[in-house]
Amino acid sequence: MNGRLFTGLTFEQTVRKYADTVTGVCVMRLQNHADAEDCFQNTFSKLWFKSPEFQSEEHLKAWLIRVAIRECADYMRKNRRVTVASPGKEESEPFRFDRSDMSWALFKTPVKYREVLYLYYCEQYKVKEIAAILHKNENTVKSLLKRGRAILKSIYGGEER
């Protein structure tokens, strides 16, 4: 590699450090292993080729999350068109999680709630930080969290575990 540094980390160190975060965002968004891998690779490719300047590691992490979310949205938009054009296309195997893990319940929530819940509970971002990452108003994030929690509660309460 050429020795690029991202807030003091080499590219390889950056990938190792933030791989779980980017994977989590992609999986929560796409619910499909193969598609998540594609978006994961695209996210880190953008980091490599664009080489933006970051103010801190937190800024780098937020940038990676935003890019991963956009990559997933682009992938879903493109995949929807391909699926319509070729209905015989085989679908990839979706992710499956142990029910003791909260992920199974998150997968049952709509994407707009899933993203906020994932960032809040799994990545442990504060409401203000989530608002900045998703480019949403803080009150919108609070509302999404409240509604998402209600959905999770109904999922947990409405099914045997």
What would the pLDDT profile of 57-78 be if each residue is shown by its tens digit? Answer: 999 999 999 999 999 999 988 8
Verify that 26 and 39 share a domain, yes or no.
yes
Average pLDDT, the chain: 82
Verify that 102 and 133 share a domain, yes or no.
yes
Verify that 28 and 51 share a domain, yes or no.
yes
Which tokens belong to 46? 């953008």
Which tokens belong to 65? 């999350």
Task: Give me the percent of the chain exceeding a pLDDT of 90.
Answer: 50
Q: Over 13-59, what HEC string results?
A: HHHHHHHHHHHHHHHHHHCEHHHHHHHHHHHHHHHHHHCCCCCCHHH
- Give the number of domains in the chain: 2
Verify that 14 and 55 share a domain, yes or no.
yes
Note the pLDDT tens digit of each residue in 76-123.
Answer: 888 774 433 333 433 444 444 444 456 777 888 888 899 899 899 888
**Domain membership of residue 11 as a residue range:** 1-95
Which run of H or of E encompasses 146?
helix 138-158
* CATH at 81: 1.10.1740
Cα–Cα separations (whole angstroms), residue 53 to 57, 66, 117, 137, 138: 11, 15, 28, 25, 26
* Whole-number pLDDT of residue 1: 46
Ramachandran category for residue 2: left, alpha or beta (phi over 0 → left; psi -120 to 50 → alpha): alpha
Amino acid (1-letter code) at residue 32? N
Going by C-beta distance under 8 Å and a sequence separation of 6 or more, which residues neighbour residue 159?
none
Q: Of 95, 117, 148, at which residue does a domain stop?
A: 95
Note the pLDDT tens digit of each residue in 18-29.
Answer: 999 999 999 988
C-alpha span between 120 and 133 (Å, rounded) = 12
* CATH at 129: 1.10.10.10
Verify that 101 and 88 share a domain, yes or no.
no
Q: Are strands 9-10 and 5-6 parallel, antiparallel or unpaired?
A: antiparallel
The DSSP bridge partners found for residue 133 are none
Verify that 24 and 84 share a domain, yes or no.
yes
Verify that 37 and 73 share a domain, yes or no.
yes
Task: Give me the percent of the chain exceeding a pLDDT of 70.
Answer: 81
* Whole-number pLDDT of residue 158: 59
C-alpha span between 140 and 143 (Å, rounded) = 5
Per DSSP, the chain holds a count of helices (H) and strands (E) of 7, 2
Verify that 54 and 106 share a domain, yes or no.
no
pTM equals 0.73
